[in-house]
C-alpha cells in the first residue's frame, strides 16, 4: 500500500511543481524515454508503481531560488568570519541551519519545532515575539526571511498589524552588547502581500532597530543578482528583492 501511495504522490508532484500543469508540456518526452529505456537496457519492463516522473529538470543551468541561495551563502560567510563559540537562529531555512551547525554550535528556535538529531544542532520551540532568552544574552543571532511573515497568520500565528515591528524589537532585545544580528527580509516597494509576507524599504528596516548599528548591507535584486556591501539606496527601487543586514549592538 505504501508504494502505491508514493506512486500517486509522485504523479501529483510531477504536475504541480514547480508550477501547476507545467509538467504536461514535458510528458511526451518522459513517455518516449520510458518506452525507449528498456530497449537500451536489460530490463524487460518498468513497473508503473515504481515510476517517479521528474518532468522539468532538463535545463541548461541548475535552477535555484536566489533569495535563499545567496542569503545562505551570506550568513555562512558572516558567521565563519566572526567565529562565535555559539550561534542562535530564529526560524530561518532549516537547510541553511543544517550547514551552519556543521562548523558552529547552533541553537535553532522555531514556532514549529524542528525534529532532527544532527550533532552541533539544538532545536527548541519558541515564539519570536516572546523569546525565552535574557536581555542582551546572544552574541551571534540570525533571522533570515522571517519577520516579514509575523502577524499575517500564515504559520498559525495570531493576526497583528505590528507583528514585524514587535519581532524586530524582540531580536534587538536579546542581542548582547557588541553582539551581531544577521537579518534578511524582502525589500523594494513597501506593501503587504497578504497573507504571504511584507516587503520593506531598506531604510524602514534600519528604523526598526534603533539600538543597533548597521555594519553592512547586501542584497539580491529583481533579476536574482547578488550585490555585496551595497548602499541602502541601491535596494530601494526594487519590486521584490532580498535585503541582508548585518547589525551590531553598540549601545
Tell me which of 91 and 2 has the higher pLDDT. Answer: 91
Q: Which residues pair with 87 in a beta bridge?
A: 106
pLDDT of residue 112: 85
Average pLDDT, the chain: 92
The yes/no answer on whether domain 66-249 falls in CATH 3.40.50.150 is yes
In b/e form, how buried is each residue of 74-113, taking b as 16+ CB within 10 angstroms?
Answer: bbbebbeeeebeebbbbbbbeebbbebbeebebbbbbbee
C-alpha cell at 141: 543571532
pLDDT at 51: 87
For the chain, what are the domain ranges? 2-50, 66-249
11 pLDDT more than 90: no
- pLDDT value of position 151: 96
pLDDT at residue 113, as a whole number: 86
8 A C-beta contact, residue 148 and residue 186: yes
What does residue 168 show for φ and ψ, rounded to 5 degrees?
-60, -45
Where is average pLDDT lowest: 23-27, 189-193, 211-215?
Answer: 23-27
φ and ψ of 60, to 5 deg: -80, -25
Rounded CA gap, 71 and 198, in Å? Answer: 18
The one-character DSSP state at 176 is: E
Helix (H) or strand (E) holding 191: strand 191-193
Averaged over 17-31, what is the pLDDT? Answer: 81
pTM of the model: 0.88
- Joined together, the cell numbers standing for residue 241 give 528583492
Percent of the chain whose pLDDT exceeds 90: 73
- CA dist 151 and 129 (Å) reads 10
The answer on pLDDT for 19 being more than 70 is no
- pLDDT of 52 reads 86
| Whole-angstrom distance, CA of residue 194 vs CA of residue 136 | 33
Q: Residue range 109-130: average pLDDT?
A: 95
* 25-77 pLDDT tens trace: 888 998 999 988 888 888 777 888 888 888 888 889 998 999 999 999 999 99
Where are any strands of DSSP class E within 51-120? Answer: 86-90, 105-110
Q: Length of the chain, please? A: 251
Amino acid at each position: 500500500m505504501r508504494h502505491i501511495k508514493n506512486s500517486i504522490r509522485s504523479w501529483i508532484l510531477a504536475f504541480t511543481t514547480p508550477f501547476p500543469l507545467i509538467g504536461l508540456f514535458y510528458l511526451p518526452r518522459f513517455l518516449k524515454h520510458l518506452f525507449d529505456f528498456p530497449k537500451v537496457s536489460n530490463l524487460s519492463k518498468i513497473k508503473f508503481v515504481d515510476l517517479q516522473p521528474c518532468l522539468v529538470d532538463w535545463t541548461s543551468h541548475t535552477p535555484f531560488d536566489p533569495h535563499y541561495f545567496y542569503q545562505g551563502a551570506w550568513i555562512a560567510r558572516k558567521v565563519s568570519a566572526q567565529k562565535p563559540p555559539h550561534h542562535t537562529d530564529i526560524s530561518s531555512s532549516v537547510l541553511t541551519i543544517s550547514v551552519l551547525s556543521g562548523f558552529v554550535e547552533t541553537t535553532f528556535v522555531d514556532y514549529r519545532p524542528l525534529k532532527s538529531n544532527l550533532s552541533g544542532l539544538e532545536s527548541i520551540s519558541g515564539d519570536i515575539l516572546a523569546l525565552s532568552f535574557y536581555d542582551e544574552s546572544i552574541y551571534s543571532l540570525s533571522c533570515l526571511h522571517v519577520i516579514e511573515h509575523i502577524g499575517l497568520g500564515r504559520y498559525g500565528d495570531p493576526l497583528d498589524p505590528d507583528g514585524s515591528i514587535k519581532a524586530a524589537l524582540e531580536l534587538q532585545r536579546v542581542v548582547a552588547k557588541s553582539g551581531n544580528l544577521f537579518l534578511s527580509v524582502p525589500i523594494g516597494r513597501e506593501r503587504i502581500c497578504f497573507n504571504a509576507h511584507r516587503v520593506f524599504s531598506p531604510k524602514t528596516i534600519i528604523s526598526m532597530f534603533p539600538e543597533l548599528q548597521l555594519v553592512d548591507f547586501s542584497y539580491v535584486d529583481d533579476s536574482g543578482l547578488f550585490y555585496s556591501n551595497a548602499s541602502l539606496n541601491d535596494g530601494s527601487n526594487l519590486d521584490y528583492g532580498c535585503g541582508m543586514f548585518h547589525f551590531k549592538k553598540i549601545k
